[in-house]
């Protein structure tokens, strides 16, 4: 992946902005932590979320984690095939495993997120 | 794959000749009846009947003259058609696929799997108890109401909290009810308190009940000694604090020795202390929640007072609260007027938490138990529960160490972390292999504060011989080839169900092949 | 001492192994100032013989339905319970086990609950059923919470006034602290007018709760009410009498989203109100929003078919404050009773039971309606229960019935219902002779 334009939340969501549209997913690290994903619940297109709000859930057999919107925006597209093929997420969390695309409400919110190296350090700290 | 049978070496523990732990896999399935344990739908044959009703003795009007045609079903629901012997053989055979307290040692921590006295089952079925309609008049129900009134009184005395509601259907509903009582009390005082606090070792029902009652939930960490961290607690306390929920003894089986101080801290900021009574089996007649600072508590009658557990309920979760909270209890409660017992709703009641009076059938069994034991018997229950737990802890401590505390109360939490590190054997592996030895597994992976947790609660109704045999089984398991353990159990009807597949494509009902 | 059998020698040995002097030393972490310094003030211990005579005496001072003829209703009913139900539920392997956390040691209970879920789906015509909730009133509340979660609507919860008043009180207690408004639709004619329902349901409404047959015994225009909910994007919640589904259309066939019920009629003794059985079934789209346990099929590591607790990530032991409900222990043993009961009746048995209830209730309504001073309160279709209006004070009527050995009621006014009315319920157990004698006693 091209990490240079990808930002991360401490809650392990990533966001990548192109032409005012923010693509959101969860990181490889998060997918590995959850192990054996069994279910993902994503919002319907049209839903609006503020940064930090819950927009969905991922579940493994013994855990469930809320998904927090890293930036505010309106859902313009949902990765529908993901619900039926969780391998997309485990195989390619930063690509085919994307979750929603948001119409970015406030580009300034990106500044509050971590860049790749800061996120890597954050994961390192969390793993210990 | 070939799996050696479980064996116990002669030197691993004393008195091992008293048990027969070996369960070679090839021996177990031979007496099973796989025909009878097919799905009940597969056993069905069109035209077969079990229950027959007498013919109608009233004028035989056509049904569509009595009920509107557009409300009538075309055909009855597609229930299976089976004969009574099919039913009996099916369900009796299914019952043999369970482990239970009647058949096995069942040291499931936090669940108090004690012996369920048979006399309770006979007495609870007496006419005048089992056949009482909830809307029949109190004058027709005096004998039963007198029993329930005494139950209220006894639970108040054991708690040291005099106001009691028998209404909650289970412990979790007791928690929820008490939190609503607290909310009503604060509202009545014009206080807007929004936070409920609990330690990270709390049962999941605590935060779930707090959220359901509309509170913000605040989880505290645990101190190194496994007890509530007083400094951390104090740092969260303010005029927004409503309730601190604490299990005492806690889920590590440790008595919170500073509980009086904790209570003082809460009361200083105007908050209340809730005692999760799941672990009351440790302290009956020893100390009382009301005496150590609790303002409210629930009982699990199906645990502490032998409900029984029923394969997952019914429970019964009465709550006991301080006098000043009594006016907020759900109604009805039973009041005594001379020799007459009446139903009354407290003046500022939170309302009704369920339909009708409560899980009376379970409360009755609790009553029988309390009347059988009396004050000395109750205290002896806790003494023996704590004795058994400490004895088992010591038998296992060198192989499955207990990280927290020198002594435990009625249960303890061992860790399989050292064996996992040394040999790759997990708490789950040990738990599963125990089934091969004829023992139910302890609670595993709870509480979360202990890695590879194995929470063991032997209860007072197990003998030294059983505890010795159980410890011997664990010791022998830990010496087995790890590969055998990873794939255990080997002698059970099934082994390691695929939970991931189950959750990815849930199949939650029988599907007919023709659909 | 009863249920304790460690001998003094064994205790000594155990204490030596632990390395303490006395049992008392094991309690050293309990501060002395917090100890109870006296025996508990509870009655002294009784032997089994003494207990049995005490309990028999108390039971003898209670008049259950085996010593009076029961026409009592209002959500709990005197249906016949086949002996096979008691016999199976009395198996210690079932009633002394707990929640089937260890699937390998619990296939018996797990398969029973899977079959229970399957039977409830067949009965209701719904796609998914859970493994039980506490009882009928809390089942309604849990369904309301499900609807709020599923719709994310926090404006209104609409309840018909013909829903059991105690169920409505439970909803008030459960949801009263939410910002969501609880709107009750009056039912002056014994049923709801669908137009009155339509008038209050809007795009902030999470759900519409209807009971069918309702608390007054009447059948609602339940299909229209479900349609009104659907039109507004709200969840329709229908509370049913499970026995009625032997003759009435299944909720799944008329578009219900969530079905709940008090399962007591399915082989559960009256027991003064509990333990009973909360039933809940829904359409697949609500499966993951459901409260309570769900048992699923899967295969084990050798490919053998088996059962497990499924979708546990919804539950409190994993999701804690974000769980779909706080429920943990449910009504396992009672679900077993219902499973055996429904299996024993089968499709023809439940049809016959429901037809007998219908015919006998209508005969009783004719007989009681003809008694001077009594009338059937609502001219609406009903199943096994109906409301009677009395010109005399209801207390007198109930007393007259009682004196003749009959239980009737409950009186509705104390439950918030109309003045001078009471319920009469007629199950398959009642005979023409009993109905005739009741009518005579009330004349």
- The average pLDDT across B410-434 equals 96
Cβ of A60 under 8 Å from any chain C Cβ? yes
CATH code for residues C69-80+347-442: 3.90.1150.10
pLDDT at C265 over 90: yes
Tell me the count of A-C CB pairs closer than 8 A. Answer: 19
pLDDT of res. B203: 92
- Listed as ranges, residues in chain A with pLDDT below 70 are 1-4, 128
Across the interface, of C19, C100, C323, the residue whose CB is closest to B204 is C323
Across the interface, of B73, B94, B373, the residue whose CB is closest to C111 is B94
Q: What is the pTM of this model?
A: 0.95
pLDDT at B290 over 70: yes
Give the model confidence (pLDDT) of C5-51 as tens digits: 899 999 999 999 999 999 999 999 999 999 999 999 999 999 999 99
For chain C, residues classed under CATH 3.40.640.10 are 84-340
pLDDT at C405 over 80: yes
CA contacts within 13 A on the Cβ side of B47: 0
Q: Which CATH number is B195's domain given?
A: 3.40.640.10
Q: Which CATH number is A88's domain given?
A: 2.40.50.100
Q: What are phi and psi of B449, to 5 degrees?
A: -75, -10
pLDDT band of B26, cuts 50, 70, 90: very low
What residues of chain C, 260 to 289, have a C-beta less than 8 Å from chain A? Answer: 288
Would A126 be classed as within a structural domain? no
**What is the least distance, in Å, from the CA of A100 to any CA of chain C?**
19
Residue of chain B whose Cα is closest to the Cα of C134: B169
Please give the residue range of the domain that contains residue B297: 124-372
Cβ C31 vs Cβ C398: under 8 Å = no
Residue B29: is it exposed, middle or buried by C-beta count within 10 angstroms (0-12/13-18/19+)? exposed
pLDDT band of C319, cuts 50, 70, 90: confident
- Report the C-alpha gap between C430 and C356 in whole angstroms: 9
Cβ A38 vs Cβ A86: under 8 Å = yes
pLDDT of res. B306: 95
- Report the C-alpha gap between A32 and C246 in whole angstroms: 51
pLDDT at B302 over 70: yes
Give the DSSP per-residue string, B198-251.
Answer: EETTS-THHHHHHHHTTPEEEEE-B-TTSSB-HHHHHHH-STTEEEEEEESS-T
Q: Which of A61, A65, A67, A83 to mutate to test the interface with C (most CBs of C within 10 A)?
A: A61
Determine the number of helices (DSSP H) and then strands (DSSP E) in chain B: 16, 12
- Which tokens sit at B243? 């309730």
Mean pLDDT of chain B: 93
pLDDT of res. A77: 95
Contacts of B456 in chain C (CB under 8 A): none
**What is the least distance, in Å, from the CA of C288 to any CA of chain A?**
10
Please give the residue range of the domain that contains residue A74: 3-107
The alpha helices in C40-106, defined as continuous H runs, are 48-60, 83-89, 92-95
- Report the C-alpha gap between B88 and C302 in whole angstroms: 29
- Report the C-alpha gap between A41 and B472 in whole angstroms: 47
Q: Which of B207, B504, B507 to mutate to test the interface with A (most CBs of A within 10 A)?
A: B504
Cβ B220 vs Cβ B198: under 8 Å = yes
**What is the least distance, in Å, from the CA of C319 to any CA of chain A?**
7
**What is the least distance, in Å, from the CA of A65 to any CA of chain C?**
8
Nearest to C264 by CA among B123, B384, B473, B133: B133
Contacts of A62 in chain C (CB under 8 A): 312-313, 318
CA contacts within 13 A on the Cβ side of C223: 8
Q: Give the CA-trace dihedral at B331, B336, B342, B345, to 10 degrees.
A: -20
Cβ A47 vs Cβ A103: under 8 Å = no
Across the interface, of B50, B135, B352, the residue whose CB is closest to C170 is B352
pLDDT of res. C252: 97
Candidates 3.40.640.10, 3.40.50.2300, 2.40.30.30, 3.40.50.970; CATH matching C84-340: 3.40.640.10
Structural domains of chain B, count: 1
pLDDT band of B31, cuts 50, 70, 90: confident
Task: Give the list of residues 6+ apart from residue C138 with CB closer than 8 angstroms, or none.
Answer: B169, B173, B353, B354, B355, C170, C174, C278
**What is the least distance, in Å, from the CA of C313 to any CA of chain A?**
6
Place of tokens 């019920």: C261
Structural domains of chain A, count: 1
Beta bridge partners of B400: none
The pairing of strands C374-376 and C385-390 is antiparallel
pLDDT of res. B21: 42
Residue B391: is it exposed, middle or buried by C-beta count within 10 angstroms (0-12/13-18/19+)? buried
Nearest to B407 by CA among B421, B393, B427: B393
Cβ B453 vs Cβ B412: under 8 Å = no
Cβ of C54 under 8 Å from any chain A Cβ? no
Q: Please state the ipTM of this predicted complex.
A: 0.97
**What is the least distance, in Å, from the CA of A40 to any CA of chain B?**
10
What residues of chain B, 15 to 44, have a C-beta less than 8 Å from chain C? Answer: 37, 39-41
Cβ A41 vs Cβ A76: under 8 Å = no
The pairing of strands B453-456 and A100-104 is unpaired
Give the model confidence (pLDDT) of B164-192 as tens digits: 999 999 999 999 999 999 999 999 999 99
Give the model confidence (pLDDT) of B360-383 as tens digits: 999 999 999 999 999 999 999 999
Contact between chains at A64 and C319 (C-beta distance less than 8 A) = yes
The alpha helices in B357-459, defined as continuous H runs, are 360-396, 417-423, 427-436
Report which DSSP code applies to C248.
Answer: B
Task: Give the list of residues 6+ apart from residue C72 with CB closer than 8 angstroms, or none.
Answer: B133, B135, B136, C65, C78, C407, C408, C409, C410, C423, C425
Task: Give Cα separations from C136 to B256, C223, C238, C276 (angstroms).
Answer: 38, 21, 11, 8
- Report the C-alpha gap between B330 and B134 in whole angstroms: 17
Task: Give Cα separations from C331 to A109, B309, B510, C116, C123 (angstroms).
Answer: 49, 9, 21, 12, 19
Contacts of C346 in chain B (CB under 8 A): 48-51, 79-82
pLDDT at B27 over 70: no
What residues of chain A, 61 to 80, have a C-beta less than 8 Å from chain C? Answer: 61-64, 66
- Report the C-alpha gap between C111 and C306 in whole angstroms: 8
- Report the C-alpha gap between C70 and C275 in whole angstroms: 19
Residue C280 CA, chain-centre distance (Å), reads 10
Determine the number of helices (DSSP H) and then strands (DSSP E) in chain C: 13, 14
- Report the C-alpha gap between C384 and C354 in whole angstroms: 8
Integer distance in angstroms from the first to the last C-alpha of chain C? 58
pLDDT band of C317, cuts 50, 70, 90: confident
Tallying the residues shown for chain A, one arrives at: 128
- Report the C-alpha gap between B105 and B471 in whole angstroms: 12
pLDDT of res. B295: 98
A88 membership: H or E segment, kind and range: helix A87-91
Contacts of B130 in chain C (CB under 8 A): 64, 269-271
pLDDT of res. A103: 94
Give the model confidence (pLDDT) of C119-155 as tens digits: 999 999 999 999 999 999 999 999 999 999 999 999 9
Q: How big is chain C by its Cα radius of gyration, in Å?
A: 25
pLDDT of res. A64: 85
Across the interface, of A39, A64, A66, the residue whose CB is closest to C318 is A64
Mean pLDDT of chain C: 96
pLDDT of res. A34: 83
pLDDT at B3 over 50: no
Q: What percent of chain C has pLDDT over 70?
A: 100
Contacts of B445 in chain A (CB under 8 A): 62
- Which tokens sit at C280? 């809940």
CA dihedral (C124, C127, C132, C134) positive or negative: negative
Would B310 be classed as within a structural domain? yes
Across the interface, of C72, C167, C343, the residue whose CB is closest to B133 is C72
C349 membership: H or E segment, kind and range: helix C332-369
B26-35, B226-235, B306-315, C56-65, range with the lowest pLDDT:
B26-35
**What is the least distance, in Å, from the CA of C143 to any CA of chain A?**
20
pLDDT of res. A60: 86
Contacts of B370 in chain C (CB under 8 A): 42
Contact between chains at A63 and C322 (C-beta distance less than 8 A) = no
């Amino acid at each position: 992946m091209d990490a240079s334009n990808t930002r991360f939340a401490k809650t392990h969501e990533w966001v990548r902005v192109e032409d005012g549209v923010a693509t959101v997913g969860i990181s490889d690290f998060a997918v590995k932590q959850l192990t054996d994903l069994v279910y993902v619940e994503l919002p319907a297109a049209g839903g609006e979320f503020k940064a930090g709000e819950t927009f969905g859930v991922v579940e493994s057999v013994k855990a469930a984690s809320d998904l927090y919107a890293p930036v505010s925006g309106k859902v313009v597209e949902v990765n529908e095939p993901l619900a039926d093929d969780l391998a997309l997420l485990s195989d390619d969390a930063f690509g085919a495993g994307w979750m929603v695309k948001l119409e970015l409400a406030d580009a300034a919110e990106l500044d509050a997120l971590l860049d790749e190296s800061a996120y890597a350090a954050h994961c390192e700290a969390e793993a210990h | 794959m070939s799996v050696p049978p479980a064996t116990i070496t002669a030197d691993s523990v004393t008195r091992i000749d008293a048990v027969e732990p070996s369960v070679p896999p090839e021996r177990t399935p031979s007496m099973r009846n796989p025909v009878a344990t097919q799905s009940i739908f597969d056993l069905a044959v069109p035209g077969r009947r079990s229950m027959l009703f007498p013919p109608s003795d009233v004028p035989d009007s056509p049904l569509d003259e009595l009920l509107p045609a557009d409300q009538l079903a075309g055909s009855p629901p597609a229930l299976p058609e089976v004969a009574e012997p099919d039913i009996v053989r099916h369900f009796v055979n299914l019952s043999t696929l369970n482990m239970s307290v009647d058949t096995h040692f069942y040291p499931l921590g936090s669940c108090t799997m004690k012996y369920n006295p048979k006399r309770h089952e006979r007495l609870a079925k007496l006419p005048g108890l089992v056949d009482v309609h909830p809307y029949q008049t109190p004058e027709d129900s005096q004998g039963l109401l007198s029993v329930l009134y005494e139950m209220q009184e006894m639970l108040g005395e054991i708690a040291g909290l005099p106001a009691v509601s028998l209404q909650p259907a289970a412990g979790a509903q007791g928690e929820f009810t008490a939190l609503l009582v607290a909310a009503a009390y604060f509202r009545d005082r014009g206080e807007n308190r929004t936070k409920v606090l609990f330690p990270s070792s709390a049962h999941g029902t605590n935060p779930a009940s707090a959220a359901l009652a509309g509170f913000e939930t605040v989880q505290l960490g645990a101190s190194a000694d496994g007890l509530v961290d007083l400094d951390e607690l104090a740092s969260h306390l303010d005029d927004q604090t409503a309730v601190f929920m604490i299990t005492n003894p806690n889920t590590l089986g440790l008595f919170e020795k500073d509980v009086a101080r904790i209570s003082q801290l809460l009361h200083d900021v105007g908050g209340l202390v809730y005692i999760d009574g799941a672990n009351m089996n440790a302290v009956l007649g020893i100390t009382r929640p009301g005496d150590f600072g609790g303002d409210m508590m629930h009982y699990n009658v199906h645990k502490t007072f032998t409900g029984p557990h029923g394969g997952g309920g019914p429970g019964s979760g009465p709550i006991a609260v301080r006098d000043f909270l009594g006016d907020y209890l759900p109604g009805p409660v039973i009041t005594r007027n001379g020799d007459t017992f009446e139903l009354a709703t407290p003046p500022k009641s939170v309302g009704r938490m369920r339909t009708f009076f409560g899980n009376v059938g379970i409360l009755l069994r609790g009553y029988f138990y309390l009347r059988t034991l009396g004050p000395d018997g109750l205290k002896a229950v806790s003494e023996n529960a704590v004795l058994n737990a400490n004895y088992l802890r010591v038998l296992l401590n060198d192989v499955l160490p207990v990280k927290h505390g020198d002594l435990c109360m009625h249960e303890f939490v061992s860790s399989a972390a050292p064996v996992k590190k040394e040999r790759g054997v997990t708490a789950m592996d040990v738990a599963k292999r125990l089934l091969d030895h004829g023992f139910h597994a302890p609670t595993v992976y709870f509480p979360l504060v202990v890695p590879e947790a194995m929470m063991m609660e032997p209860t007072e109704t197990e003998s030294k011989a059983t505890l010795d045999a159980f410890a011997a089984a664990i010791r022998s398991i830990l010496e087995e080839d790890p590969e055998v353990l990873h794939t255990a159990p080997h002698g059970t009807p099934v082994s390691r169900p695929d939970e991931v597949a189950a959750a990815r494509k849930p199949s939650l009902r029988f599907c007919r092949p023709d659909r | 001492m009863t249920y304790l059998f460690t001998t003094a020698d064994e205790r000594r040995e155990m204490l030596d192994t632990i390395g303490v002097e006395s049992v008392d030393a094991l309690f050293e972490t309990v501060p002395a100032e917090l100890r109870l310094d006296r025996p508990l003030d509870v009655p002294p211990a009784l032997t089994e013989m003494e207990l049995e005579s005490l309990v028999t005496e108390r039971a003898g001072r209670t008049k259950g339905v085996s010593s009076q003829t029961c026409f009592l209703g209002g959500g709990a009913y005197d249906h016949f319970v086949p002996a096979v139900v008691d016999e199976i539920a009395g198996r210690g392997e079932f009633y002394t086990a707990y929640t089937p956390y260890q699937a390998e040691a619990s296939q018996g209970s797990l398969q029973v609950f899977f079959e229970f879920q399957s039977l409830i789906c067949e009965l209701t015509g719904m796609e998914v059923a859970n493994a039980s909730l506490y009882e009928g009133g809390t089942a309604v509340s849990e369904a309301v919470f499900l609807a709020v979660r599923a719709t994310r609507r926090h404006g209104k919860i609409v309840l018909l006034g013909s829903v059991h008043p105690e169920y409505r009180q439970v909803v008030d207690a459960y949801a009263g602290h939410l910002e969501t408004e609880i709107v009750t639709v009056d039912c002056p004619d014994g049923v709801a007018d669908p137009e009155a329902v339509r008038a209050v349901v809007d795009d902030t409404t999470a759900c519409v709760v209807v009971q069918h047959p309702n608390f007054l015994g009447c059948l609602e225009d339940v299909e229209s009410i479900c349609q009104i909910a659907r039109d507004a994007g709200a969840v329709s919640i229908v509370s049913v009498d499970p026995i009625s589904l032997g003759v009435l259309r299944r909720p799944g066939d008329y578009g219900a989203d969530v079905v709940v019920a008090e399962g007591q009629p399915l082989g559960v003794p009256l027991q003064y109100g509990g333990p009973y059985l909360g039933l809940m079934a829904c359409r697949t789209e609500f499966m993951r929003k459901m409260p309570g346990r769900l048992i699923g099929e899967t295969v084990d590591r050798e490919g053998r078919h088996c059962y497990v607790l499924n979708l546990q990530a919804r539950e409190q032991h994993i999701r804690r404050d974000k769980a779909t409900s706080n429920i943990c222990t449910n009504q396992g043993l009672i679900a077993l009773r219902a499973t055996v009961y429904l299996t024993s009746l089968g499709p023809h048995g439940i049809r016959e039971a429901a037809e007998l209830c219908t015919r006998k209730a209508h005969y009783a309504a004719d007989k009681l309606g003809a008694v001077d001073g009594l009338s059937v309160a609502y001219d609406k279709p009903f199943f096994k229960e109906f409301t009677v209006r009395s010109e005399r004070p209801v207390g007198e009527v109930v007393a007259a019935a009682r004196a003749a050995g009959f239980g009737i009621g409950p009186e509705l006014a104390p439950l918030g219902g109309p003045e001078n009315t009471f319920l009469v319920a007629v199950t398959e157990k009642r005979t023409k002779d009993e109905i005739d004698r009741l009518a005579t006693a009330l004349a």
